[in-house]
Amino acid sequence: MNTMSSRGIHGDCLPENPHLQQFSAAEMGAIAHLYRGEVYRSTMWRSRLDTTTNWTVVLTGVSLTAVFGSASASPLPLILVGPLVAVFLLLEARRYRYFNVWRARARLLETDFYAPMLRGQHGGMDGRWNALLADDYDAPRFHISYVRAVGRRLRKNYIWVFMMQALTYFGKIFIHPTPATSMADAFAHARIGPVSGQLVIAAGAAFHAFWIMLALVTYLMERRVRRRDQSLIAM
């Protein structure tokens, strides 16, 4: 199951229950505490997502400072920071899967319990949303695959970091240590020890092309899932 909603798994409607069971006052209080607990857990995991993003921004900023600190500084830090940022992306995607569990539960309570109650409708058990939530507590599972989680964090945050790294790297090799007047000069500036500038740039292009393709593929995966489960809460 990728998301949670009262329509059930894979968008199949669960049968309507004509006999709506209302919660008692004690049960309503328990639901309120449950919702508050899920919001708290989702907030805590959200802060963990922000932590890895902050590490990425700081690391990128440090590398830019080192590279542009002087005209003779090597562009190597911008190359090395790319794989490190990729590691942070993979860590953040793992954390996002946990965050998504708590957020999906809280969102289900908001849309299927609190929202009807605020509209003056029912706020009881209709045999659908409460059964879905109970099943999720009985058998906890991730609501999004790891690949899709990587794609989401990549499209939301990390693609812009990779883009900045690529632009600043090319800016560095074209202006330092002296302005490049031809591609031969740029290749010479990109050279790292025995590794030719052409090979370094080709490796960098392949690295960034991989993340661009992953962003596109996971975006198409998201669209396919949402078309299949149109009524599901988008998580």
Question: What's the pLDDT score for residue 17?
Answer: 46
Tokens representing residue 65 in the block: 């400072």
Are 3 and 143 spatial neighbours (Cβ–Cβ below 8 Å)? yes
Question: Where are the domains positioned within the chain?
Answer: 9-228
Note the pTM of the prediction, 2 decimals. Answer: 0.83
> pLDDT tens digits for the chain (235 residues)?
455 555 443 344 444 445 567 778 888 889 999 999 999 999 999 999 999 999 999 999 999 999 999 999 999 999 999 999 999 999 999 999 999 999 999 999 998 888 888 887 766 676 678 888 989 999 999 989 999 999 999 999 999 999 999 999 999 999 999 999 999 999 999 999 999 999 999 999 999 999 999 999 999 998 888 777 654 444 4
Question: What's the pLDDT score for residue 120?
Answer: 78
The SS3 assignment for 125 reads strand
Strands (E) located in the chain? none
Among 175, 194, 163, CA closest to 186: 175
- Helices assigned H by DSSP within the chain: 25-67, 76-109, 115-118, 129-138, 146-153, 159-175, 183-190, 197-228
